[in-house]
Structure 1
Amino acid sequence: MDDWSCNVMNRLMNLKSTLSNSCNEMSLVVGHEGHCIYLSLCKKFDFILVRVDNRWMDTVPLNTPHPKNGALIQPYLVAYFKSNGLDIDKNKEWLKEYIKNQQY
């Protein structure tokens, strides 16, 4: 599990930052009995955003309505931090542990 979470972290840090309304994002499916959630890791400008979604949302621009099931989608921002900040090593370690713990 350590290798997997390190691999995810390395892939995230190597994503190119964007300057537009979009973001570079990777989603991980986290399965639980009878249900799953989606852990989305997004790199936008020089920030990393960690979001948990209860439904697959795909990567969509900000403020995009979901008319079919908008009321059912509940995204939660778990954390955000600067990808080049002074605490980046501490934040990366926290995120690796968070990813590992979501697999159980």
Structure 2
Amino acid sequence: MAGKYGLQEYKDFIGLIEQHEDTNIWCSEIVDFVTEWRCFIRYGEILDVRQYKGAWDSKLDLRVIKSAVKDFIDAPAAYGLDFGIDRDGNMKL
């Protein structure tokens, strides 16, 4: 991936899209996360949550994660969700 902020040029898409298929790409604003966690979900069950960046004493709100898993109606059998706490203390997906 290019740079600190992910996709910045056309060449950054190489390997992410199929040449002869439509590819949906979702983008968000740049968020400066203080702490981040990765959640591993299989068949609607949260198997594990691992912190991979940031302040060890940040508080993770499991209610937010459980709600996101429940609300993901068309979820694949297994997937990951990343959550983070931004500089203002907000938890974001």
Q: What TM-score do you get using the length of structure 2 for normalisation? A: 0.26
Larger Rg: 2
Q: Which has the higher helix share?
A: 1
TM-score of the pair, normalised by structure 1: 0.24
